[in-house]
Amino acid sequence: MPRQTIKLVSWNVNGYRAVMKKDFLASIGSLDADIVGLQETKLQEPQLTRAMKELDGYQAAFSFSTVKKGYSGVAAYSRMAPNAVRHGIGIPRFDDEGRILELEFDAFTFFNVYFPNGQMSDERLEYKLDFYQAFFDYAEALRKQGKSLVVTGDFNTAHNEIDLKHPGPNSKRSGFLPVERRWLDRIVGMGYVDTFRHRYPDTVKYSWWSYRFNARKTNAGWRIDYFFVSEDIIRKGWLKDAFIDNDIFGSDHCPVGLILEI
């Protein structure tokens, strides 16, 4: 039986309305993905346009922040009809910011997640770490049911020194704190595989650049956008490739991707 190739893309657009003015539809067309996850849409439901809701050839799903306008939010688009779409993990503290979409397919469950940023305060850092715990507790329950998982999005943490341009000066900054990096160690230890690093162990490539100091022009970036998969996907030989597309602009992040052969 021939295998099916599925291309998945994740992109923190840092404001859906803003990126729509920067050739977003052309960029999505060029990516030609079967499943797309967007983070930081910064939308409320009444602000959705027809173009956002009816992206050509895709079924759409959205989660919105209910605690703050113009904040957080995720969207997912799929050419394949999901068996189910779920919003959040059943814990209001984490669901109210509109950070999680779950699309269930026959072969795997896809999560599009905008993990919190811990830079604002010690309280937000604690929230971020608690969010990691709650989300992966939820994910592990699905794995115990035999589900294969694809977890993508902006994790807001660079894992290792190879994953950011200036590791030393940033070692006391949220996004590269030892306590945050240990969480990514834990995720790997639990049996989730960073697909880009699995395929390209020594490649230096970034997915986010500050708008300050000409960071993108000088490539002073961070790799904080990931596709993690449960290790059974690797064992079954489904991982064909992973990529980071630095040639697409419009946000302070660029798209990252995964190609599966199932």
Q: Are 16 and 39 in contact (CB under 8 A)?
A: no
Residue type, 194: D
**Any binding-site annotation on 219?**
no
The three-state secondary structure class of 187 is helix
Partners of 38 in beta bridges: 11, 75
**Any binding-site annotation on 214?**
no
**Any binding-site annotation on 40?**
yes
Residue with tokens 């919105």: 64
Partners of 151 in beta bridges: 111, 228
Q: Which residues are catalytic?
A: 114, 154, 253
**Any binding-site annotation on 12?**
yes
Residue with tokens 């850092």: 125
Q: Are 242 and 257 in contact (CB under 8 A)?
A: yes
**Any binding-site annotation on 156?**
yes
* Count of other CB atoms within 10 angstroms of residue 69: 11
**Any binding-site annotation on 32?**
no
Nearest to 43 by CA among 21, 13, 22, 23: 13
Binding-site annotation, residues for Mg(2+) = 12, 40, 154, 156, 252-253
Binding-site annotation, residues = 12, 40, 154, 156, 252-253
